[in-house]
Structure 1
Amino acid sequence: MTFSVAVAGASGYAGGEVLRILAAHPDFEVVTVTANANAGRPLIEHQPHLRSLSHLTLVATTAENLVGHDVVFLALPHGASGALAEALDDRTLVVDCGADHRLENEADWSAFYGGQHFAAWPYAVPELPTTTGKQRERLVGTRRIAAPGCNASAVSLALAPGIRAGVIEQHDIVTVLAVGPSGAGKKLEVPYLASELLGSAAPYAVGGTHRHIPEIQQNLRLAGASDPTLSFTPVLVPMARGILVTATARLVAGASPADVRKAWSDAYDGEPFVQLLPEGSFPRTADVLGANTALIGLAVDEAAGRVVSVLAMDNLVKGTAGAAVQCANIALGLDESAGLSVNGVAP
C-alpha cells in the first residue's frame, strides 16, 4: 500500500528535509506541498536539491489543501500547527514538526512560548527510555505525533539512560551545545548571516530562557526524574547543520564507571539509530551529517564526580525530519527504518 502525503511548510529547512527523506521512501508518495508567502511557485525554486520532486507546485497552507491525505507533515512555526491540525480528520496521521503539541504542561507553554496551548501528542523519540520501557510503545497505532525539538531530543537521549538507571542525579545537570543555524529555520535575520557566523561562536538563550528546557525536563521525568534541574547553554557555530551536546551530571554515590556504561548500553542495545560508541571514543557532528543517527560517547570524570555524555546528531534529520518519518513508520505499522539511513555523508 502507498500512503498519500502532504507536507505543509515545504519551502523551509525542516519541510525540505522531510521531503528529501520521503522522496526515497518506499511506502509514501508526496502529492501536495504547501507554503505561505511562496504559494504558487514551483517547489524546485525553493528546494533545488530535490530534483525528483520538481513536478510539484507549492499551494497555500490551508486545511482545505491538506484534507484527504493519508499522512500530513506540518513543518510550521510554533503557533501555526494547532488550529490547522484540529481541522484534519482523526483518521489522518498528522505529524507536527513544530512545537505546538510537545508540552503537556500549559504553564510551561505560557512561560516559554505564549499563546494558545494545544493538547500534547505522543512524542516522536522512539528510543527515549521511560520508566515503563521506551517511548516507541506510545507511538504504535496513533494518528497524532509531536516531532521533537532538535536540541531537546539530543539532550534527552544523552541523559535519560542515567536517570532511568539511577546512576546520575537529577539536579545540577549542565549542558552546553554547539548548534548549526539551520535549527532556527530559513529566515533572513542578522545573527544567521554568513558575515556574522563565519569565524565565530555565539551563545544565545543564555540563563534558562531557551524554549527546549521544559521539553527536556518533561522527557527526564518520563525516565524517572521527579524534579530535574537543568542548565542549558546553546552556542551557534558556523556549520549549516548539526548538534554536539556535552552534558554532565553528578554521579550517584556508590555508582561505578561500569554501572554508568551499563546504563547507556542497556538503554540503547539493538537501537539502529542511537548508538553508544566504544569506551574512549567520542562523536563528531561530521559523523552523522545526513543520517538519522545519534552517536554517544561516555566518560566518568571521577575527580569531579560527574558523568560526561557527548552526543552528536544532525538537527534536521534525527533531530526533526528523520524522527518524524521514523515515528510515522511506527504508527502505520511499517518497517521503522523505511526511508532512513544510518550512514552519513563525508567529507
Structure 2
Amino acid sequence: MAVFGLWTADCAVGCNNGGMTTRAAILGPTGYAGAELIRLLLGHPEAEVTYLASHRDELPDLRVEYPRLAAALDPAVAVARPVDPGAIAAAADVAFLALPHKASMSYAPALLDAGLRVIDLSADYRLSSVELYESVYGVEHVDADRVAETVYGLPEFFRERITADTRLLASPGCYPTAALLGIVPLMRGGLVDPASLIVNAASGTTGAGRSAKVGLLHAEANEGFAAYGTIGGHRHQPEIGDVLEVLGYPGVDPLFVPHLLPVDRGILATIYGTPRAGVRLEDVGRAFEVAYGGEPFVHVVDHLPSVKHVAGTNHVQVSFRLAETGSGSRLVVFVAEDNIVKGSSGQAIQAMNLMFGHEEGCGLMGV
C-alpha cells in the first residue's frame, strides 16, 4: 500500500495572499475551541486576533484563563470585551463563533448584518434543514432563513463552495469529520454495502467541552473507556447522514457509536463495512488515492493510525484493511484526527484561509 495525500513539490504550502492580513474576532474564547483558535491564529503569518468577545458577566482575561497564552497574546486584546457587533466589525474581518450549540444562532445575524463574515464552530448551521436541526436539538432555530444558505466547511468535499463570496460557514463536527473522511471514498467508489456501515469512534475529553461534568472528572474518566450517548441517538449521527445525502448518497445513515477516550485530545474512528463482491484491497487504495492524493491534510498511510500521531495538528491519518472472517469479508477503515484542531478550530482556520485568499495550509502545516 502506498502512502498518499502528502504535499508534493507542486502543492502550495506557503502563505501568500499579497501581504493582506485577516483580522479575526473570537466569540467564546475561554472554551477549548476558542483557546485553540487563539493558539493557532497566533502562529498564522497572515492573520491576527484583534477582538475577543465574551457574554460572561465578568469579562475574562485570557492570560489568566490560559496562562500559556500570556507571553504571546497582545495585552490590548487579552481581556475579552462585550459582544458588540458594531465594535467587532470595526476591528475584524471575520468572526469565529466558538459558542455552545443553540447560542451561535442568536449572535450570527447581527454580526452578518454588521458586514462581518462568520465561521460558526457550533452545530447551529451544520444541518441542511431547519426541521432536522429542531428535531435533533429540541429548540426553535431563530435564524432559519440562513440555514439553507450556509456553506458546510469540510474542504475536502466542499472546497469549491468555500470562496471569497462565502458569508456564513458552518465548521463540521469532530466526529462527522472523521467519519466522512473515511466513508465518502468508499461511497464514491461503490465499494461497500451502505447498509452495513458502522462507525465506532472514541474521542478525548476535550470533545465534551470545558464545562464541569462529573463524567469528565479525572477520577471518573482516567483508566476508563466507555461508550456514551444513546446508540443511534447521538447528535452527530444525523449530521453524518445529512452530509452524505447532500453529497449524493441519500438514505445512507451509518450506525454511530461514540466512546470517551481518557486522553485530552484526539479521535480514532474505526469504520466497518461489507465490501461489494469482487472488491480488492487495491480498489480501496485507488479510491482513497483519488480522494486524497492532492490533499494537504489527509494522509493515507500503511500503519494503523494513533491519536498520538496527529495530536496538536490539523493532519489526519487514514488507513484500511480487508479482513476475512468466517461470515465473509469486512472492510475496516481507520481515521485519526485531533478533535479540537482538524475536528474544530484548525478546520475552521483552513476554511478561513480559503475564504480570504490565503494558501489553504497557511498557519496549519506544523506537526
TM-score band (shorter)? Answer: over 0.9
TM-score (norm 1): 0.92
Residue pair 1:272, 1:342 contacting (<8 A) in 2 also: no
Residue pair 1:62, 1:84 contacting (<8 A) in 2 also: no
Deviations 1:1-36 (A, max 9, x none): 222211000011000001111001111121111223
Aligned residues: 335
Deviation of 1:64 (Å): 4.3
d(CA) in 2 for partners of 1:41 and 1:258? 54
1:127 to 145, 156, 178: 156
Q: Which runs of 4+ in 1 moved over 6 A?
A: none
Q: 5 Å matches for 1:222-261?
A: 222-261=246-285
Residue pair 2:195, 2:252 contacting (<8 A) in 1 also: yes
- Aligned residue for 1:282, secondary structure, equals coil
Residue pair 1:203, 1:234 contacting (<8 A) in 2 also: yes
Deviations 1:155-184 (A, max 9, x none): 111111101111112212111111111011
2:324 is matched with which residue?
A: 302
Does residue 67 of the first structure (1) align with residue 71 of the second (2)? no
Does residue 52 of the first structure (1) align with residue 35 of the second (2)? no
Structure with the higher fraction of residues in helix conformation: 2
1:24 to 39, 43, 68: 43
1:152 is matched with which residue?
A: 176
Listed as ranges, the gaps of 5+ residues in structure 2 are: 1-19
TM-score (norm 2): 0.88
Deviation of 1:62 (Å): 4.2
d(CA) in 1 for partners of 2:57 and 2:40? 21
Listed as ranges, the gaps of 5+ residues in structure 1 are: 129-134
Deviation of 1:111 (Å): 2.1
1:137 to 153, 160, 172: 160
Deviation of 1:52 (Å): 0.6
1:284 to 269, 291, 306: 306
Aligned-pair identity (%): 36
Deviations 1:112-167 (A, max 9, x none): 11212331411111113xxxxxx111101212111111011111111111011111
- Aligned residue for 1:94, secondary structure, equals strand
Higher relative contact order, structure no. (Cα contacts within 8 Å, ≥ 6 residues apart) = 2
- Aligned residue for 2:49, secondary structure, equals strand
1:131 is matched with which residue?
A: none
Residue pair 1:163, 1:220 contacting (<8 A) in 2 also: no
Q: 5 Å matches for 1:318-333?
A: 318-333=342-357
Residue pair 2:28, 2:98 contacting (<8 A) in 1 also: yes
Answer with 135-144 or 281-290: which moved more: 135-144
CA RMSD of aligned residues (A): 1.5
Letter in 2 for 1:335: E
Deviations 1:189-226 (A, max 9, x none): 10110010111112111321110111111222244322
Deviation of 1:101 (Å): 0.6
2:28 to 2, 6, 9: 9
